[in-house]
Amino acid sequence: MENYSYFSLNDNKLIQTDSFIDGGWYESKTHFNVNNPVTGQTIAKVSNGSKREAECAVQAAKRAFKSWSKMPAHERGKIMRKWFDLIMQHQDDLSRILTIEQGKPLAEAKGEIAYGASFIEWFSEEAKRVYGDVISAQSQNQRIIVIKQAVGVVAAITPWNFPCAMIARKAAAALAAGCTFVVRPAEKTPLTALAMAELAQRAGVPKGVFNVVVGEDANAIGQVFTTHPDVAKFTFTGSTAVGKLLISQCASTVKKVSMELGGNAPFIVFKDADIDAAVKGAIISKYRNAGQTCVCTNRILVDESILKEFTDKFVEAVSKLKLGDGLSDNTDIGPLISTKAVQGIDDLVQASVAQGAKLILGGKVSQLGSQFYQPTVLTNVTPQMSVAKHEIFGPVTPIMSFKTEDEAISLGNDTQYGLAAYFYSRDIGVIWRVAEGLDFGMIGINEGIISNAVAPFGGVKQSGNGREGSKYGLDDYLEIKYLCMGDIL
């Protein structure tokens, strides 16, 4: 074991570096480096699992499914509740691990641990609320009953932007439904996932029920997860481009699939809005996790009559955001996940300026280091510009204007994506028309942050399918079985 004093944890056993398969730690022949995005320094050498580890994990999950799916739901719920308690008891350590490998400010990391844990708590309770149905039969001697059963082994691939919550949101629903679970966390942020596995083990999650395969080769692991005949369901959070590929791979064994893919959220401010509240909502929605969030505001659309007032206030608020190391006090925005990401953001900003956008704030790689990008605001943006069309995934805000409610709706919907949208208005008529008119799975109305365990998270159009969290989230992990009983009379 290497020296991980760098993390300054209360419980050093939370730093694990091997895959977690069938209730044990599984070291691979080779290893890969996990780096701190602030310094580029290597913080851990992690087992480089691949096809073999993925297959072992699926087999372990298959073996465990027999007993886990049959265990009474309230007993599964008790184990999950213990897992939730342990995560919250270790919230400080988990947050440090998360910040050090991912970069987000410690306060946000703490929020993410609580957010991730809240799915485990919610589904530990919801496990016992899976109901069937009795349907009136068409013949006197028949009875028709519908039962719901766990789909089987679930495989998941999760992203680096929420290293805890994206795993918890899927695993909690899967385990509550009686499924067993294998996950490949992003190679940039495997340590949070492995710490969660350590706590799952301590909570008494039986061996094989929750497995984590860490490795750099996403293709090799993804191939197993999407084509293995013993995987019944595959779930992914990540880009739309990768999601399409994975869906096509799942077709060979006709897996149940749920996808949480990219977004291009409009944030619309109508003329009757509370402008200060809208500025506050836009800041939190846009700059949370340095803008590296699928649901974060991608474009701000403002009624032209309040454009100047909103823009001035927004720019002033953005200029106060402090860029820095997530471990330092008062940091609002941490580094981006890679220098490649920074380069992509800068290219987008420069291309938009060349297309006529006006740079009001930021617009450069920060002097703090090659993974930091200045919080940036662009005005005079048009729908044709790259910055309005692409999912930005960084701390850059394009601002556009509109003249009418219809134009606002049509600009908002002018995207292949349909994950989240936000708007601010105090007019009940505007609120209903716009909420119904926007083609998105989630709408924040006078709210910039809408994610929580009790609500259905998910998108329409090319933002994916299925829902995570809430009572609807369980359905994605359950099959409906119809029982027709004859010869009753």
User: Which residues are catalytic, by number?
Assistant: 260, 294
- Candidates 19, 192, 201, 293: give the one binding ligand SIN (CB under 6 A): 293
To ligand SIN, the closest distance from the beta carbon of 419 in angstroms equals 8
CA–CA dist 240, 172 (Å, integer): 24
Q: What are phi and psi of 410, to 5 degrees?
A: -70, -35
From residue 44, alpha-carbon distances to 36, 97, 161 in Å are 9, 11, 19
Stretch that binds ligand SIN, among 70-78, 87-95, 173-181, 287-295 (CB under 6 A): 287-295
Question: How many chain residues touch ligand SIN (CB under 6 A)?
Answer: 9
Task: Measure the CA–CA gap between 165 and 113, rounded to whole angstroms.
Answer: 7
Rounded to the nearest whole angstrom, what is the least distance from the CB of residue 451 to ligand SIN in the complex?
3
Q: Tell the smallest beta-carbon distance from residue 302 to ligand SIN (Å).
A: 24
Nearest in space to 392 (alpha carbons), one of 295, 486, 323: 295
For 252, the token pair is 């060979």
Beta partners for residue 132, in sequence order: none
Binding status of residue 301 toward ligand SIN by CB under 6 A: no
Which segment (5-13, 122-130, 279-287, 290-298) binds ligand SIN by CB under 6 A? 290-298
Minimum CB distance to ligand SIN smaller for 237 or for 379:
237
User: By CB under 6 A, what part of segment 238-277 binds ligand SIN?
Assistant: 260
Q: Tell me if 124 contacts ligand SIN by CB under 6 A.
A: no
C-alpha pair distances (Å), 221 with each of 212, 327, 346, 389: 11, 32, 32, 31
CB atoms within 10 A of CB 262: 23
CA 105 to chain centre: 17
Per the CB < 8 A criterion, the answer to whether 47 and 28 are in contact is yes
Closest CA to 151 of 210, 230, 77, 204: 230
Query: Smaller CB distance to ligand SIN: residue 211 or 285?
Result: 285
Which listed residue (173, 231, 290, 294) binds ligand SIN by CB under 6 A?
Answer: 294
The region of 174-182, 206-214, 292-300, 470-478 touching ligand SIN under the rule CB under 6 A is: 292-300
Candidates 14, 295, 377, 378; binder of ligand SIN (CB under 6 A) is 295
Q: Are 470 and 454 in contact (CB under 8 A)?
A: yes
The answer to whether residue 237 forms part of the interface with ligand SIN (CB under 6 A) is yes
| Contacting ligand SIN within 426-455 (CB under 6 A) | 451
Identify which of residues 55 and 391 has a Cβ nearer to ligand SIN in the complex.
Answer: 391
Helix, coil or strand: residue 334: coil
Least distance CB 118 / ligand SIN (angstroms): 11
**Which residue of 50, 95, 124, 161 would you call a contact of ligand SIN, by CB under 6 A?**
161
The burial class, CB within 10 Å (0-12 / 13-18 / 19+), for 144 is middle
Q: Which two tokens stand for residue 332?
A: 């609002």
In the complex, the residues that contact ligand SIN under the rule CB under 6 A are 161-162, 165, 237, 260, 293-295, 451
